[in-house]
């Protein structure tokens, strides 16, 4: 019985650690008209032009939207609503674990009118204390690691000499290993 309880405790703890790993980001915000009233049922679409990945949602009764589970990348955000001009904001950079808030005010006008927004999303996330980031392939290749072995810095025997003669029951660093029978 004790082993079963320990096994269950281990599985629950392991599942919580795996669940805590986050490899996506999210966009949220509110869509309002020029008077500040919420625009209900506005179509909000985030598209990554590099991959073609796209995800859409509609605003709720308060004009708020959330687009969760977006892979990191650079997105174009398009907002459409009946009776308003379409807004398109390009170049929104989303990092791992980041939730960006992108608010827009729609202007009354023809549906076929597109307003392009050129301002950038803020670089500082003020709504979460979560830590995340991205590492580019260029940054990885410039790391001072011999043989590009990424596990090298974490190796408990890094810096140990592997040449020469070892005595029985010793590892390359000269530490005595206990023999198991």
Beta strand 86-94 with 73-80 is: antiparallel
3-state secondary structure of 29: strand
Residue 101 belongs to what domain range? 23-117
3: in domain: no
Residue 14 dihedral angles phi and psi, to the nearest 5° = -65, -40
The residue among 156 and 75 whose pLDDT is bigger is 75
92: in domain: yes
The residue among 31 and 144 whose pLDDT is bigger is 31
CATH of the domain at 72: 2.60.40.1120
The per-residue pLDDT for range 88-144, each reduced to its tens digit, is 999 999 988 889 999 999 998 765 566 666 555 555 556 666 666 666 677 767 777
Distance CA 59, CA 53 (A): 20
Counting DSSP H helices and E strands in the chain, the numbers are: 2, 9
Residue 48 and residue 98 in contact, taking contact as beta carbons nearer than 8 Å: no
172: in domain: no
């Amino acid at each position: 019985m004790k082993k079963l309880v320990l096994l269950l405790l281990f599985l629950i703890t392991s599942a919580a650690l795996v669940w805590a790993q986050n490899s996506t980001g999210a966009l949220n915000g509110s869509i309002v008209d020029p008077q500040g009233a919420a625009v209900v049922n506005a179509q909000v679409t985030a598209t990554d032009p590099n991959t073609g990945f796209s995800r859409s949602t509609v605003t709720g009764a308060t004009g708020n939207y959330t687009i969760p589970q977006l892979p990191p990348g650079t997105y174009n955000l398009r907002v459409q609503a009946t009776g308003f001009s379409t807004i398109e904001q390009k170049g929104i950079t989303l990092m791992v674990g980041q939730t960006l808030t992108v608010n827009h005010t729609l202007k009354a006008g023809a549906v076929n009118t597109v307003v392009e927004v050129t301002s950038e999303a803020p670089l500082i996330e003020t709504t979460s204390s979560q830590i995340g980031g991205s590492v580019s392939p260029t940054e990885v290749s410039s790391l001072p690691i011999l043989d590009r072995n990424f596990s090298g810095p974490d190796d408990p025997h890094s810096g140990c000499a592997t040449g020469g003669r070892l005595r029985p029951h010793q590892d390359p660093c000269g530490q005595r290993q206990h023999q198991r029978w």
